């Protein structure tokens, strides 16, 4: 006989995966830790397979648990969407969406278009910041959905796009091979700063940090002014800039992945729907 899945148990299961521990999930679903444990035991009995395995003092998903997690998220999203539709009320309020500057002209417009089409009465509030700051804000409950370069497999995420990273200088910049490479970088934390420094150190190439900016606009201005070279996605390129590469003595840089993250099992219904539309791309 095929198992019958209880939605409350699935919601508890998803909360455990998203929050990382049974204790944190209990707070998220407003139940005691004992009640959360009982629901997972019941769910494992229903499916006839263990969903978690113990590793040291923590628990990790089994292969069956990973498979069920993907289905559980989709089932809960459909359930919540159906309830909202049958209630006869159109979603209103705010959708708090975060994105880094790098995708302001690429991924972000697509997100906003899909949101306004699906929920015309929902007001999108956009937070533009670096990926690390967006992830922290999302975990604090300040953002419903976010684009980020940070790879966190324990949170609901979708790979949106993979972008080449290159060394960028001004169109008129003259590289001096005998001197330490002058860098234009973000302050910490920054994935592009780490990519640049790690690549240079790995190849034993001398460098100096010549200019630091907290914003992408500041980095563009400094590179345009000829203050140095930066590592950035190819989306920063325009006629003011050019690319330096291996022919110039600089190492190849790793690509950057942009992920779409959902805040968690209790996410804003509009955010969950938006997230699921990209799941089925």
Would you place residue 1 in the very low, low, confident or very high pLDDT band (cuts 50, 70, 90)? Answer: low
The stretch 65-76 carries a mean pLDDT of: 79
Please report whether residue 123 resides in a domain. yes
The values of phi and psi at residue 212, to 5°, are: -125, 135
If asked whether residues 51 and 112 sit together in one domain, one would say no
CATH for 134? 3.40.190.10
What is the domain range of residue 11?
A: 7-85
Would you place residue 193 in the very low, low, confident or very high pLDDT band (cuts 50, 70, 90)? Answer: very high
Please report whether residue 188 resides in a domain. yes
Q: Is 152 helix (H, G, I), strand (E, B) or coil?
A: coil
The stretch 226-237 carries a mean pLDDT of: 89
Please report whether residue 142 resides in a domain. yes
- What is the Cα Rg of the chain in Å? 23
The stretch 153-167 carries a mean pLDDT of: 84
Q: Where are the alpha helices (DSSP H) in the chain?
A: 7-19, 22-28, 33-47, 63-86, 107-118, 131-139, 191-202, 216-224, 269-279
Please report whether residue 2 resides in a domain. no
Q: What is the pTM of this model?
A: 0.64
If asked whether residues 156 and 270 sit together in one domain, one would say yes
Tally of structural domains, the chain: 3
Burial 218-237 (b: 16+ CB within 10 A, else e): ebbebbbeebbbbbbbebbe
What is the per-residue pLDDT for 25? 75
What is the per-residue pLDDT for 104? 82
Please report whether residue 1 resides in a domain. no
């Amino acid at each position: 006989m095929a198992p019958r899945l209880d939605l409350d148990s699935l919601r508890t299961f998803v909360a455990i995966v998203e929050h990382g521990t049974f204790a944190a999930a209990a707070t998220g679903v407003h139940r005691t830790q004992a009640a959360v444990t009982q629901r997972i035991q019941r769910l494992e009995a229903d499916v006839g397979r263990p969903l978690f395995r113990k590793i040291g003092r923590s628990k990790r998903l089994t292969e069956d648990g990973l498979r069920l997690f993907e289905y559980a998220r989709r089932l809960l999203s459909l359930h919540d969407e159906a309830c909202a539709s049958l209630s006869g009320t159109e979603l209103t309020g705010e959708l708090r969406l975060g994105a880094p500057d790098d995708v302001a002209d690429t991924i972000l417009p697509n997100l906003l278009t899909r949101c306004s089409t699906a929920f015309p009465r929902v007001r999108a509030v956009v937070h533009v910041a670096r990926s690390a700051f967006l992830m922290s804000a999302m975990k604090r409950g300040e953002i419903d959905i976010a684009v980020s370069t940070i790879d966190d497999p324990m949170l609901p995420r979708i790979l949106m796009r993979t972008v080449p990273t290159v060394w960028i200088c001004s169109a008129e910049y003259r590289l001096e091979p005998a001197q330490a490479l002058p860098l234009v970088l973000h302050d910490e934390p920054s994935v592009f700063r780490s990519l640049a420094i790690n690549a240079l150190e790995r190849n034993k190439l001398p460098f100096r940090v010549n200019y630091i900016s907290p914003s992408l606009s500041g980095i563009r201005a400094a590179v345009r002014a000829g203050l140095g070279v930066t590592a950035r996605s190819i989306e920063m390129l325009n006629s003011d800039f050019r690319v330096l590469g291996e022919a110039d003595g600089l190492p190849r840089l790793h690509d950057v992945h942009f992920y779409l993250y959902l805040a968690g099992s209790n996410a804003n219904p509009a955010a969950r729907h938006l997230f699921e539309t990209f799941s089925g791309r």
